[in-house]
Chain A
Amino acid sequence: MTGQCHVSLREAVRRYDGPPAVHALGPVNLEIRRGEFFSVVGPSGCGKSTLLDVISGLVRPSSGSVHFEDKELRGEVPDGVGVVFQEDSSMPWLSVRDNVAFGLRTSGLPKKEVAGRVDHAIRFMGLAQFAGHYPAQLSGGMRQRVCIARTLVLRPRLILLDEPFGALDQQTRLLMGDELLRLWRETGATVLLITHALDEAAMLSDRVGVMSARPGHFIDMVETGWPRDRDSRVISDPKFGALTARLWSSLREESLKTMGHAA
């Protein structure tokens, strides 16, 4: 399933003009393979979300280049890319069904096809009982599932997730992680997950990139070696502890820098 390069960054740098001017990211060199589950961890403020913005096309790199499916991104989100944000991005004026269908409003697909896709995404994310509810009537985790379903109906080939479970409790995070793995397996999409949780990255990913303190660049790449049909039970595997420890040892010094301490 995984193999050829799907996303690549070459010497990608992002600076924000001030005041104060901020060098937020890079230079970053990265290749994500088609169908790969790739996670990024790093200290707070290291530029993880900027990396996601650059890869999605929401933000153009100040220098260097980003390619998706061999086409260079020039500050626009290309077709085939879906993004789930950290913040709740459900639309409170739309029902769950209409939220999920939102992405297909401009698709030009026949109504029947749209209804079929929406039903499938709603069922897939376990929201069938809540299709007529409004976001205000749902928990934070369910609202995030609505946002994932809204991305899913577009059948993206690249799914970008920016700390989507950041506001959830640990049990819900584990269960949502299982749902994410199922989604990844069934869609065959490439997944890029930004997270601050080392255990989440170690459990879900094929490969984890560790970023330095700002301006963020990759200081370590860790192959997890998990089988494709894994789930949250890998946390009881002895290798899981070793992986998490490896990630932490790479990250500890950078986190201390962020906090203003010497290593």
Chain B
Amino acid sequence: MRRRRAAFVVRAAILAALIAMLEVGCRTGAIDPLTVIPPSDMVASMVGQIGSGELDASIVSTFSTILIAFVLAVILGIATGATIHRFARLRDVADPLLASYYSVPTFIFYPLLVALLGLGKAPLVVLGILSAVPAVVISTLSGLDSVAPVLMKVARVHRLTAARTLWWIVLPAALPHLFTGFKLALSYALIGVIAGEFILSGSGLGYAISFAYQSFDNRTMYGAMLFVLLVAVIANGILYMWEGRLARRRSRG
């Protein structure tokens, strides 16, 4: 516990030092204000934009898209992972494809998705899913691999149905691995959606950042960037703490 607290303090100190250096660099003119604005101005810009409500529509649009993409990626990823796990020959085919998936730049399909699905939310959701789903598939496979065979025997001794075996034994046993997949899926869905908005969309936080960038409005751009960064860190932090609680309960004395 003391080690973890010490690591947290060191981490926070490094972050604070970097922010302070950036602040000093910007204020003294060592860093060109046309390139980066002082962190305190970023915070002021973020607070101002949120307070004025000018980001409300973008926030709702972006985070609802991320949430839909994340939830669908989790459902699709678990179903795909479970199917691949069930059939050994399918796994022989799928394993190398999954391993090399991350070398595919999924963003290049965005124009195709727009052509197929229009300019609304749909292509962004699909892009988010395409980015997030492999992490869930891979974590589902390793989670199912990790279920102790003896627990499956316990299920049979208790004469559980397939659904109850899945719900009461397989999913809880695989949960630590699934959690890793969920964390990655959230990050990838966020990256996929915001990058998609950046490239072609006409709404959302990615678009707001891109628009400010093209208008040379650094203050607005950095304020919106900081907001996205904070939300991503907080969402991941919540999942991290939840995972930590589960892990502490399960770890062998």
Interface residues of chain A, those whose CB is within 8 Å of chain B, are: 56, 58, 76-77, 79, 81-83, 85, 87-89, 91-94, 102-103, 105-106, 134, 136-139
12 additional A-B pairs beyond A85-B154, A93-B250, A134-B249, beta carbons within 8 Å, are: A77-B156, A77-B159, A79-B159, A87-B148, A87-B150, A88-B150, A89-B148, A92-B250, A102-B158, A106-B159, A136-B250, A136-B253
Task: Give A132 to B27 CA distance when docked, in angstroms.
Answer: 57
Number of contact residues on B: which range applies? Answer: 20 to 34
Task: Give A134 to B248 CA distance when docked, in angstroms.
Answer: 10
A93 touches B160 (CB 8 A): no
Task: Give A136 to B245 CA distance when docked, in angstroms.
Answer: 13
A89 touches B250 (CB 8 A): no
Q: What chain A residues lie within 8 Å of B55 (beta carbons)? A: none
Chain B, range 230-253, C-beta contacts under 8 Å to A:
246, 249-253
Least CB separation from A139: chain B residue: B253
Are A58 and B156 CB-contacts (below 8 A) given A93-B173, A93-B175? Answer: yes
A106 touches B157 (CB 8 A): no
- Is B86 in contact with chain A by the CB < 8 A criterion? no
Interface string of B164-189 (1 = CB under 8 A from A): 10001100110100000000000000
A77 touches B157 (CB 8 A): yes
Interface residues of chain B, those whose CB is within 8 Å of chain A, are: 148, 150-151, 153-154, 156-160, 164, 168-169, 172-173, 175, 246, 249-253
B249 touches A136 (CB 8 A): yes
- Secondary structure of the B contact surface, majority rule: helix
Give 11 CB contacts A-B under 8 Å. Answer: A77-B159, A79-B159, A82-B157, A92-B249, A93-B172, A102-B168, A106-B159, A106-B160, A134-B249, A134-B250, A136-B251
B173 touches A105 (CB 8 A): no
Least CB separation from A77: chain B residue: B157
**In the complex, which of the residues A58, A76, A89, A137 has the most CB atoms of chain B within 10 Å of its own CB atom?**
A89
A76 touches B159 (CB 8 A): yes
Q: What chain B residues lie within 8 Å of A81 (beta carbons)? A: 157
Q: What chain B residues lie within 8 Å of A79 (beta carbons)? A: 159
Task: Give A146 to B124 CA distance when docked, in angstroms.
Answer: 50
Task: Give A82 to B164 CA distance when docked, in angstroms.
Answer: 19
Task: Give A81 to B153 CA distance when docked, in angstroms.
Answer: 13
Q: What chain B residues lie within 8 Å of A88 (beta carbons)? A: 150
Least CB separation from B158: chain A residue: A103
Q: What chain B residues lie within 8 Å of A134 (beta carbons)? A: 249-250
Task: Give A106 to B169 CA distance when docked, in angstroms.
Answer: 14
**In the complex, which of the residues B150, B157, B160, B252 has the most CB atoms of chain A within 10 Å of its own CB atom?**
B157
Q: What chain A residues lie within 8 Å of B151 (beta carbons)? A: 89, 91
Of all A-B residue pairs in the complex, the 8 with the closest CB atoms, nearest first, are A92-B250, A87-B150, A93-B172, A89-B150, A83-B157, A85-B150, A89-B154, A136-B252
Task: Give A137 to B173 CA distance when docked, in angstroms.
Answer: 17
Task: Give A106 to B175 CA distance when docked, in angstroms.
Answer: 23
Q: What chain B residues lie within 8 Å of A89 (beta carbons)? A: 148, 150-151, 153-154
Task: Give A55 to B159 CA distance when docked, in angstroms.
Answer: 15
Least CB separation from B149: chain A residue: A87
Give B195 Cβ to nearest chain A Cβ, in Å. 36
Q: What chain A residues lie within 8 Å of B164 (beta carbons)? A: 106
Task: Give A81 to B157 CA distance when docked, in angstroms.
Answer: 8
Q: What chain A residues lie within 8 Å of B160 (beta carbons)? A: 106
Least CB separation from A134: chain B residue: B249
Task: Give A82 to B250 CA distance when docked, in angstroms.
Answer: 25
**In the complex, which of the residues B246, B249, B251 has the most CB atoms of chain A within 10 Å of its own CB atom?**
B249
Least CB separation from A75: chain B residue: B156
Give A111 Cβ to nearest chain B Cβ, in Å. 18
Least CB separation from A154: chain B residue: B158
